[in-house]
């Protein structure tokens, strides 16, 4: 797992279940001065899917990043 203030990369690998997944979270600025939480997930080696959530400020987006990271860690991502 790699993490800094604005980005977090998680992986979940279980060979017995043929599972190799990733989940990436990052806080990015928008053109209008707001902040966006960008989530990307999928099977390792694929492009996967992504979703963007908009927030009024960076602090709110970072709080959402930390909340989602904790949820994913409880599900086995490291």
pLDDT per residue as tens digits for the range 3-55: 446 899 999 999 999 999 999 999 999 999 999 999 999 999 999 999 999 99
Burial class of 36 by CB neighbour count within 10 A (0 to 12, 13 to 18, 19+): middle
Task: Report the distance separating Cα 52 and Cα 17, nearest Å.
Answer: 29
Higher pLDDT among residues 17 and 2, named by residue: 17
pTM value is: 0.86
Per-residue pLDDT at 4:
47
**pLDDT (average), residues 54-59:** 95
């Amino acid at each position: 797992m790699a993490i800094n203030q604005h980005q977090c990369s998680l992986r979940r690998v279980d060979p017995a279940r043929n599972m190799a997944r990733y989940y990436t979270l990052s806080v990015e600025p928008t053109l209008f001065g707001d902040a966006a939480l960008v989530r990307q997930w999928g099977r390792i080696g694929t492009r996967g899917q992504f979703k963007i959530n908009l927030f009024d400020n960076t602090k709110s987006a970072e709080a959402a990043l930390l909340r989602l990271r904790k949820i994913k860690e409880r599900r086995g991502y490291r």
